[in-house]
Amino acid sequence: MTRMPPRDVQPEISPPSASVRGVAGNFSMGVLDDLLNFRLRRIRNHLTEKYRLETLKLGQRAGAFSVLALIDANPGISQIDLARFGGYDQTALVGIIDDMEKRGWATRARDPSDRRRHMVNITDQGREALAELFAAAQENEREAREALTPEELEVFRVWLDKIYRQLL
């Protein structure tokens, strides 16, 4: 049986939506209260949209930051592994990498041991772009991070990773 939230309990935290923020004290999540997906999606949607708008100002394509970060952390990663480990649609990933090559951020070469595979590497220009995108990502998360102490943030990361490993 699903636990229903008591009607007299007021939420501590305002929902991220600006349209709901002013009525948070009277706002009930109802049956959504027990769903992790709803709570995580609410935060993700807010941060993603805010970051998307910021990266548009920088002239960057959506998805470039995380793809660049993974390429930088895994030199020579194959496109297939990048899609698999990063959770990207392979078709969308090809478009992102095509765009990165045009910008001079990444190079793609056939794997000499398996000609069907493409290895992707970051360039110096890509590292500069990554630094700019990382700074924007940090600023984007600043307000969310300020809601937690450093200890709470570390526990939150551990819990998120634990949930993710369970789902694999």
Residue 87 Rama label (left phi>0; alpha psi -120 to 50; beta): left
Average confidence (pLDDT) over 30-57: 85
The amino acid occupying position 86 is G
What does the pLDDT read at residue 19? 43
What does the pLDDT read at residue 70? 96
Structure confidence at residue 60 as a pLDDT band (50, 70, 90) = confident
Residue 61 scores a pLDDT above 80: no
The answer to whether 129 and 60 are in contact (CB under 8 A) is: yes
What does the pLDDT read at residue 26? 67
What does the pLDDT read at residue 25? 61
Higher pLDDT, 23 or 44: 44
Q: Please, is 119 exposed, middle or buried when counting C-beta atoms within 10 Å of its C-beta (0-12, 13-18, 19+)?
A: buried
Top-confidence range, 8-17, 37-46, 110-119, 124-133: 124-133
The answer to whether 75 and 119 are in contact (CB under 8 A) is: no
Q: Token pair for residue 127?
A: 């590292």
pLDDT digits (tens, 9 = 90+) for 63-110: 788 999 999 999 999 999 999 988 889 998 999 999 999 999 999 999
What does the pLDDT read at residue 9? 41
* 61-142 CATH fold: Arc Repressor Mutant, subunit A (1.10.10)
CA–CA–CA angle 22, 27, 31 (5° rounding): 150
pLDDT digits (tens, 9 = 90+) for 109-149: 998 888 888 899 999 999 999 998 899 889 889 989 999 99
Say what the pTM is: 0.71
Q: Is the dihedral of CA 141, 87, 80, 101 positive or negative?
A: negative
Cα gap 135→46, rounded to integer Å: 18
